[in-house]
Chain A
Amino acid sequence: MSRDVLKSQDWFLNAIRSANVKSKQIYAKKINQTPTFNASERMGIYRNAYRIRLKECLAEDFPVTAKLMGSKKFDRISEDYIRLRPSRYSSLVDFGENFAKFLRNKRALSKIFSELADYEWAIIDCRFTENRPKNLLKPDQLAELSPEEIMVERDPSVFAMESSWPLIQVWRKKRQLPKKKSFLIVHRRDRSIQFCSLDAHAYKIVSYLTQPTSLIAVLSDKTFKNFDAKIWNRTFKTLVKNEIVFYRHKNFSIL
């Protein structure tokens, strides 16, 4: 390692990372200048490029967080992040890795921003995850094996996260993506009011059952002609389990 090279690079990197512009004389000692292009301006190009490049990278990786926060605030927070968490990555693609955590630690900032940043980072991470392994068990093979022999795994691309905010809706709205229809229900379990979203199949069943209907009538109704047995069983099972739909004998009155 060359000490001279280290010394020069140490100075140069500090000069472009520093928030304070040094005096023109200091730059002129280290950097050649011409009458029309002084050393301070020359270093200014590198200083600006350093900040702009990293800020653009954050804005590209967290577009909705930036939009929701507002450009001024996002710019200020990006400056802080660049100063306090300078890049140690070989590629820019990793620079935003700690941004959500950084936002989480800012107490004055609403948690929606860090959660949204987590969500946006998961979208980036997702692209780079392993593919699903090959040679997976098919459902009919399960019966031939004992539970000890069967492994249950989550797909490598799944990122699970908890949120107190409607992140997906916010993200879609701010990205101005076409609105996806959502299906929601409100119901009561004992004395507690419940809210939940349903998939399209479940919603179709729930909205169809405006009055008690015999199972045979439901099964033969043309409304459900596109439901295959798998969808039907899975959906019904979930609705029953969540106490949204129930079975009763036709001879027993509900009262």
Chain B
Amino acid sequence: MRNTPYLGFGLGLRNPHYKDVLKGTPKVDWLEVISENFLGRENLTAGPGLDRLLEIREKYPIVLHGVSLSIGSADPLNKKYMKRVKDLYEVVKPVWVSDHLCWTGVHGLNAHDLLPIPYTKSAIRHIVGRVKAVQDFYGRQILLENVSSYAEFSESTYTEWEFLAEVADKSDSGILLDVNNVYVSSFNHGFDPYQYLKNLPHDRIQQIHLAGHTNKGRYLIDTHDHPVVEKVWQLYEWLLQEIGPRNTMIERDDHIPPFEELVAELDRARALVKRQKRTA
């Protein structure tokens, strides 16, 4: 069930912060990077970034997070892509690996977006088989992240949390729970985010993402360009009380602030876990 070690509090490492990490020893326990940023170009090499990542790995545990597996797609699995990712795993030796419970394209076309899946029985059957095949190929368990969404298929017969739980249980994969995504989707679709969190298989949650979003009034957009909002912190705190500490990370992809600012935001998560331990 839970195959990943507990490392504590990490950050999503993005380009502007490489120098901070290479030069200093900022107070983070681990770092997550996007796998695709180190795959390089098709038929070319991984590029200069990989050398820097390997240097950073000497100082911090690295976790690889993919965005292109397209596990929910009706297309056959992209073996060429998977081979490149597997080769990257062998070089980087990440502590754990993850991707998203979504699809990015079909008929060989790629929308380069994390698109929503119809939550149906046939989709579960389809995805479970693919997750098992991916895990067999990589020779390790993968974590699947819930994506934020703006559209839900009317043909869906499961709630998102039921769907995620069943895919994880049946394929024996882990869950990377993005609490901000739960909040964004709950706002956009009108469900109770606490019900979502309550009904997941808690022992499968191995990593947590925290991030910010943009409030458009009638809906929320998952932009990862703001600090974590208060309501997401409340959900996280509630979740900690229910399931105990999990590897937790702050993600920021746009309007990236100075590294110390993100470390300070991460300290809030640390403080919540400390407080919870004291009261336990």
Contact = CB atoms under 8 A, between A and B. Distances in A.
B68 interface: yes
Contacts of A125: 41, 44
B47 A32 contact: no
Interface in B28-65: 36, 39-42, 44-48
Contacts of B112: 50, 53-54, 57, 87, 92, 95
B110 A31 contact: no
A46 B151 contact: yes
B73 interface: yes
Contacts of A9: 73-74, 103, 106, 115
Which of B42, B45, B105, B110 is most buried by chain A, counting CB atoms within 10 A of its CB?
A: B110
Contacts, number: 137
A6 B109 contact: no
B258 interface: no
B78 A90 contact: yes
Interface stretch (A126-134, A146-154, A164-172, A193-201): A126-134
Contact of A37 (B36, B105, B188): B188
Interface residues of A, number: 47
Which of A9, A17, A30, A124 is most buried by chain B, counting CB atoms within 10 A of its CB?
A: A9
B90 interface: no
Given A4-B118, A31-B153, A37 B218 contact: yes
B81 A90 contact: yes
A226 interface: no
A16 interface: yes
B151 A2 contact: no
A122 to B, nearest CB: 12
Interface in A35-80: 36-37, 39, 41-43, 45-46, 49-50, 53-54, 57
A1 interface: yes
A34 interface: yes
Given A128-B41, A128-B47, A2 B109 contact: no
B278 interface: no
B230 interface: no
B106 A6 contact: yes
Contacts of B188: 37, 42
Nearest to A27: B151
A92 B113 CA distance: 10
B152 to A, nearest CB: 5
A88 B110 contact: yes
Contacts of B212: none
A162 interface: no
A252 interface: no
Interface string B174-193: 00000000000000111000
B259 interface: no
A115 B140 CA distance: 46
B195 to A, nearest CB: 17
Nearest to B116: A12
A8 B118 contact: yes
A158 interface: no
Contacts of B219: 37, 41-42, 45
B72 interface: yes
Nearest to B151: A42
Given A8-B155, A12-B115, A49-B113, A42 B44 contact: no
12 contacts: A1-B74, A4-B123, A4-B155, A5-B123, A9-B106, A10-B106, A17-B109, A37-B218, A46-B113, A94-B42, A128-B41, A129-B45
Interface of A: 1-6, 8-10, 12-13, 16-17, 29-32, 34, 36-37, 39, 41-43, 45-46, 49-50, 53-54, 57, 86-95, 124-125, 127-130
The 10 closest A-B pairs by CB, nearest first: A6-B74, A128-B44, A2-B126, A90-B81, A42-B151, A9-B106, A2-B122, A45-B150, A128-B41, A128-B47
